[in-house]
Structure 1
Amino acid sequence: MRWKQKSFLVIGLSLLIAILVWSQIGMYLVHILFGVSIQVNFFKFCISLFREGSFYYFLIIILLNTLIIYTVLITLIRIGQQYFLYSRFRKKIFALRNIEITGSLIRAFQRQNQDIIVINHEQLLAFTMGFRRPCIVLSTGLIEILEDHELEAVVEHETFHQQNYDSLKIFTLQLISQSLWFIPLTKWSYRNYKIISELLADEYAIQKMGSELGLGSALLKLIKNCFHANATPVLAHFSDESVNYRLQQLVDPKRTIPVRMDAMSILISIHVILIFMSMIMLAAT
């Protein structure tokens, strides 16, 4: 299975779990807040298993409501935090923009949408930011050390992230993994999609360049520098924690890189999902 198919599988798995759980939470909240009668609901069925007014009845209500409140709050907080960080980060990027070099690169790479921004910064930076209209950000420090063919490879790599809306996808998977922490498969999907998206972007850049040389030499220069984990919105970086997989793919493109998950995480996730699905089916009967 090639990386593109694996990316669909990883995203699809996480979205399926999120839709299943969030839809049940939504129905339960509608029932509690508006008194709408709902026949098929996991949380309502769990409460109905205990005698009304008993200790366990109130205990399960507290536990389920706490879980639901946490899930809703962490989702809203992360969305709000992302909006705030992106707004502040975008202003900072435009304040550092080098208009002359930006215009020169846009003309050199024939970017009709003018979706490249060059910023005055000594750190080696190359990333894609934004959800609706993603743009590529490069630093002057990066441009100074890269040869023309290396810079073109980096731009092609980020172009894939841009066209594939990877910033949005990565944020969505991160949001799901944080809100649905009790299903480890969501965290697995988030971590592995970040790796797979980088490998896909590398494949795209190599295909466009016709060789691995530009991408490989650019990557080797960038791995000597680390990106600091400051508070920033979700970005798709050229250099990140998947660098070992990417180097392995450059050295041996035909070799399969396993996307694995530990047995305990699989076991917990399967049990949680099976319990969730079986209670929904029991509620429907």
Structure 2
Amino acid sequence: MMGWKQRAFFVMGLSLLIAILVWSQMGIYLAHALFGVNLQVNFFKFCISLFREGSFYYFLIIIVLNTLIVYTVLITLIKTVQQYFLLGRFRKKILSLRNTELTGILNQEFERENEDIMVINHKQLLAFTVGFRRPYIVLSSSLIEILEDHELRAVVEHETFHQKNYDSLKIFVLLLISQTLWYIPLTKWSYQNYKIISELLADEYAIQRMGSELSLGSTLLKLVKNCFSENSTPILVHFSDGSVNYRLQQLVDPKKTIPVRMEARLIVISVYILILLMSMIMLAVT
């Protein structure tokens, strides 16, 4: 049975493999269409042999292929630019709410050499990791008020894992892949499952650092009791989110495995679409 780290690697790798496969094939097609690069390919000969150049089906495939590639390129660019500006606006908002005094106290208390914890004045109970290149932890003043010292430390340790693991960046990449390649169901499956697995891994890290499950468990229950509201965006990794049920289950019964199941239907559809897409590309460049 794979551990959570192996599962995270598998889920992330699967999505990246699909993206690289599709984008590389699209790159081959664009190189052929724009620069006349003549690539010798013999892949999917059977599929290609079903169509004759100049036939109605041939032109239909070319139209569909061009539309799909243009759509994929545009959506990728649009989503990336949107995220860039969203992150900029979000940073400005966070800085405007910064509680300088509490920020300094917490960084000193938790011995954060890089001063990568920021406290903001906010009435919601917030704890998340933000940023791609240099992620930092954001905690709300309201959250600090309701937590005991050991519970607050558990939250910081949890978010530290997200920070060290660059989960904000990874989740954004997976979200981008799932949005641009939405017609391949396994990309959405990877995005959704990685979010859950990353939370379980962060909990596991916090428990190891704290020495027991008590602090983390009491914190989760306190957040649930206070009706923690989710307001997620692609650049955030929340301490408490839609995976809370899985996390509580893992805390109650650590030996019980939480299956990350891949439905046969998703595999069949995704493989079929990949074969169809690559067949269309190979037909277009031969």
Shift of 1:180: 1.1
Paired residue secondary structure (1:223): helix
Q: Which moved more, 1:31-40 or 1:2-11?
A: 31-40
Paired residue secondary structure (1:175): helix
Contact 2:184 2:269 in 1 (8 A): yes
TM-score after normalising by structure 2:
0.92
Q: Which runs of 5+ in 1 are unaligned?
A: none
Structure 1 equivalent of residue 124 of structure 2: 123
CA RMSD, 1 decimal? 2.6
- The amino acid of 2:265's aligned partner reads M
Contact 1:41 1:283 in 2 (8 A): no
Distance 1:85 1:152 in 2: 29
Paired residue secondary structure (2:220): helix
- The amino acid of 1:246's aligned partner reads R
Shift of 1:46: 7.5
- 2:24 corresponds to 1:23: yes
Distance 2:54 2:3 in 1: 55
- Correspondence list, 1:107-186, <5 A: 107-186=108-187
Structure 2 equivalent of residue 200 of structure 1: 201
Structure 1 equivalent of residue 53 of structure 2: 52
Paired residue secondary structure (2:240): coil
Structure 1 equivalent of residue 39 of structure 2: 38
Runs (4+) of structure 1 exceeding 4 A deviation are 45-49, 274-285
Structure 1 equivalent of residue 215 of structure 2: 214
Paired residue secondary structure (2:129): strand
Q: Equivalent of 2:229, from 220, 227, 230?
A: 227
Q: Count matched residues.
A: 284
Shift of 1:262: 2.8
Structure 2 equivalent of residue 103 of structure 1: 104
Distance 1:47 1:79 in 2: 34
Quick one: structure 1 residues 76 and 281, their matched pair in 2 at CA, closer, same or farther if it must change by over 3 Å? closer
Q: Which moved more, 1:99-108 or 1:265-274?
A: 265-274
Quick one: structure 1 residues 42 and 82, their matched pair in 2 at CA, closer, same or farther if it must change by over 3 Å? farther
Q: Render the CA deviation track for 1:148-191: whole Å, top value 9, x for unaligned.
A: 00000000000000000000111111111111112111111111
Q: Which runs of 5+ in 2 are unaligned?
A: none
Percent identity for Structure 1 against Structure 2: 76
Quick one: structure 1 residues 74 and 46, their matched pair in 2 at CA, closer, same or farther if it must change by over 3 Å? farther
TM-score after normalising by structure 1:
0.92
Shift of 1:277: 6.3
- 2:258 corresponds to 1:257: yes
Distance 1:107 1:166 in 2: 25
Contact 2:47 2:279 in 1 (8 A): no
- 2:81 corresponds to 1:80: yes
Paired residue secondary structure (1:52): coil
Paired residue secondary structure (2:196): helix
Shift of 1:141: 0.7
- The amino acid of 2:19's aligned partner reads A
Structure 1 equivalent of residue 64 of structure 2: 63
Paired residue secondary structure (2:163): helix
Q: Which moved more, 1:263-272 or 1:153-162?
A: 263-272
Distance 1:160 1:74 in 2: 31
- The amino acid of 1:63's aligned partner reads V
Distance 1:47 1:77 in 2: 33
